[in-house]
Amino acid sequence: MDKHVGFIGLGNMGLPMASRLIDAGYILTVYDPRPEAIEAASAKGARAAASPAEVASAVEVVLLSLPTPAVVRDVALGPQGISAGTKVKTLIDLSTTGARTAREIASVLAAQGITAVDAPVSGGVAGAIRGTLAVMVACPRRLFADLEPMLQQFGKVFFIGERPGMGQTMKLANNLLSATALAATTEAIVFGVKAGLDAGVMVDVINAGSGRNSATQEKFPRAILPRTFDYGFTTRLMYKDLELCREEAAEASVPMRVADAVRQLWFEVQEEIGPDADFTTIVQMIERRAGVEVKRS
Catalytic residues, by residue number, are 171
Q: Under a CB-based contact definition with an 8 Å cutoff, are residues 132 and 156 in contact? A: yes
How far is it, in rounded angstroms, from Cα 196 to Cα 273?
25
> At what angle are helices 69-77 and 99-110 packed, to 10 degrees?
0
Q: What is the three-class DSSP state of 51?
A: coil
Amino acid at 186: T
Q: Under a CB-based contact definition with an 8 Å cutoff, are residues 184 and 136 in contact? A: no
* DSSP bridge partners of 7: 30, 63
Q: Under a CB-based contact definition with an 8 Å cutoff, are residues 100 and 164 in contact? A: no
Residue among 60, 58, 18 nearest 37 (CA) = 18
Q: What would you measure as the largest C-alpha separation in the chain, in angstroms?
A: 64
DSSP string, 71-133: HHHHHHHSTTSGGG-SS--EEEE-S---HHHHHHHHHHHHTTT-EEEE--EESHHHHHHHT-E
